Chains A and B, each alone.
Chain A
Amino acid sequence: MTLNRNPAYTVERVGADEKSFVDVFELLLQQHEEIALAPFDQQKAVSQVWQALCDGMTFVARKDDGKAVGTLSLAEVEWWFGKHTYLTDRWFYVLPRYRRGPVGHLLLRAATAEADERKIPAFVDVVNPNRRHKKTSATLQAIRAGYLPVGYTLKLR
């Protein structure tokens, strides 16, 4: 199902089929190569990615030639203080050469639509330890205290 259309890119919700799995897994391998904090355990990763696809809230951005260039997967979890739920990202990744363009935005829009449909809040972490830090007040305070921010959280709904 195509959720968003842009002259160059489409975002689709992917299911638990072989092509979707391969596309998503390849993107996540590249993410791991770029920003991993621990060794890759293939068996565990395969199982986790497949489970995410089965949950039905994984989106893939494709170029007009069909190449997968980004992915965002959501999970619905309960608040620690109650029975209500919210959406949070399992992962959010866009290939480096497609950043600073519409790809990430289209994926976030798909996530927002999902949250709207479920009528619950959604939060997505945008994490890139290699990014140059923006000079926000919070960033400067953290750096002054000896910590490097690795990203920020977006509230989509």
Chain B
Amino acid sequence: MQRGSETKFRIERAGTDEKSFVDVFDLMVALHKESGFAPLKGEKAVREVYSVLCEGMTFIARAKDGTAIGVLSLTESPFYYSEEAFLHDRGFYVRPRYRCIQRCSAGSKRSAAVHLKAKHHHDTEP
């Protein structure tokens, strides 16, 4: 499923297919490389990423040519003091060269991060 964006990027909800997995995993490995605090164990990371995809709330930002440039994955958890739940991120990453929202002008040049955030907001509104 594709979601609207302006002209440079599009957001899609990732499924549990191989392409989605590979794209998300690549981005998460890049996230780990940039800010990981401990060694990456392939088997566990694969299992976790796949489990997140199965929850159906992972969004991928793609450039015009289809390259995956950002990911935001959500999961639902209960409050410790309540049976009610909230959504929080399992992973939020945008490749460094697409983070320039300060340098970009408004409109069509907004960064992937802004689009991802906007998507998150839209999807969690009642």
Contact = CB atoms under 8 A, between A and B. Distances in A.
Interface of A: 28, 32, 36-41, 44-45, 48, 79-84, 86, 90-91, 121, 137, 141-142, 144-147
Nearest to B37: A121
Contacts of B38: 79, 81-82, 84, 86
B102 A40 contact: no
27 contacts: A28-B81, A36-B81, A38-B79, A38-B81, A38-B84, A40-B82, A44-B81, A45-B80, A45-B81, A45-B82, A48-B81, A79-B36, A80-B90, A80-B91, A81-B41, A82-B40, A82-B41, A82-B45, A83-B44, A84-B38, A86-B38, A91-B80, A121-B37, A144-B101, A145-B113, A145-B118, A147-B117
Interface of B: 28, 32, 36-41, 44-45, 48, 79-84, 86, 90-91, 101-102, 113-114, 117-118, 121
A144 B105 CA distance: 12
Ordered nearest first, which 10 A-B pairs have the shortest CB separation?
A: A84-B38, A38-B84, A38-B82, A45-B81, A81-B45, A82-B41, A48-B80, A80-B48, A81-B40, A145-B114
A83 B45 CA distance: 10
A83 B47 CA distance: 13
Contacts of B81: 28, 32, 36, 38, 40-41, 44-45, 48
A44 B83 contact: yes
Contacts of B84: 38-39
Contacts of A32: 81
Contacts of B45: 80-82
A90 to B, nearest CB: 7
Contacts of B114: 145
